[in-house]
Chains A and B, each alone.
Chain A
């Protein structure tokens, strides 16, 4: 039985197979509309979410399956002090696959240890968010056309931004990716993320404190939100939240084919006047999220087009 806790759980060829399956689903969604008939996904969200939870549920519904779960810690037995291990053992008997979001880092590792069904990490604290990364890879491949020979600007909260950590971990496995890390000093990427880049021949990074200085070199500008919920101290959040704001004027020096991505939700880090430019791909990105999750569910359940790919 396979789980997806970290993108490094998947080989490059498995990742590519999932992306190929997502492409196939986008091309012919009707071919998959009954692929998960009589199957159930449990979405256990100990933290609030709009896109991720709904996209998992939409993915399962479009595959002909069913959904159950909870949308916050307050509406589960976690509020009574139940452990992750116990919750997972119980839910394993109600569902065929579980997508779990938890505020504590590493919680899905515990879940996978005790689960009787495949576990998908739908985000663990500031640590990892592998299905967002699969979404990002699908977006890059469809919108840019390749996953190698790229200069990728990562901007905003690189310390607690789990999407950034997962994306770096996945992209270093493709050739010649240069990362430009754009963040305030307090929110720079953790050492282990930089070590991932250092360890991979052909990949490199630079640390930059100005978005404008890097703009003309980027193939992708990946914006992130400064996340209030990751700060213990409100004053630090207020001081840092407006560090990097992208607006249409700042895009003047950009390559015409550059794309702007964002895992969403955004607060104010991308001005609304960027939405209408050809650079903006973040709403397409959210749409692709449903298709890659459909592919992942099929892969982990070994069904239909996903049989044998994981």
Chain B
């Protein structure tokens, strides 16, 4: 299968196989006018299988959201057909309005227009806790 190379844009590589659509929706790539390719189950020496997303436009990426979903994703910035920058992610210390607290007893379930804020408590397990009720969320599982 041939996917055209992009001239100016972004390639999200090393996405865990099966997680590509979640990245697509979380980054709201469905709202873009440019070409977006989701390539699933690409053979990978390191990962066995992986997903890749190509975006044919230089866009701002929400690194916090991406780091929460999968800190192993690599971001390749392409300019004039050349790879000009390769960024690795790390789990962000603080997530603001990336995920919502699911605890029905949390104040975020009733108070209007407050930011949903989570702090990283365990980088290894990618565990975040709501700053209001301390409910836990694990990035790799959710």
A121-136 CB contacts (< 8 Å) to partner B: 124-127
Contact B111 A84 (CB under 8 A): yes
Chain B hits for A266, CB < 8 A? none
Whether A191 lies near B136 (C-beta < 8 A) is yes
Question: Is A31 interfacial (CB 8 A cutoff)?
Answer: no
**Could you tell me the dominant secondary structure of chain B's interface residues?**
loop
Nearest-neighbor residue (CB-CB) of A128 within chain B: B134
**What residue of chain B has the Cβ atom nearest to residue A107's Cβ?**
B107
Query: Who on chain B is nearest to A160 by CB?
Result: B105
Shortest distance between the CB of B135 and any CB in chain A (Å): 8
A124–B133 Cα distance when bound, in Å, is: 9
A147 part of interface (Cβ distance < 8 Å): no
In which size bucket is the chain B interface?
Answer: 10 to 19
Chain A, residues 20-34, CB within 8 Å of chain B (1/0): the string is 000000000000000
Instruction: Please classify how large the interface on chain A is, using the bins under 10, 10 to 19, 20 to 34, 35 or more.
Output: 10 to 19
Q: How far is the CA of A110 from the CA of B114 in the complex (A)?
A: 8
Cβ proximity bits B93-136 to A, threshold 8 Å, 1 near / 0 not: 00000000001011111111010000001000000011111101
A126 proximity list for chain B (CB < 8 A): 105
- Cβ–Cβ < 8 Å partners of A102 in chain B: 107
> Is A105 in the interface zone, CB < 8 Å from B?
yes
CA distance A103 to B133 in the complex (A): 11
Q: Is A304 an interface residue (CB 8 A)?
A: no
Contacts of A141 in B (CB 8 A): none
Residues of chain A with a CB closer than 8 A to B136's CB: 191-192
Asked if A104 and B134 make an inter-chain contact with CB atoms under 8 angstroms apart, the answer reads no
- Which of chain B's residues have a CB closer than 8 A to the CB of A105? 103, 105-107, 132-134
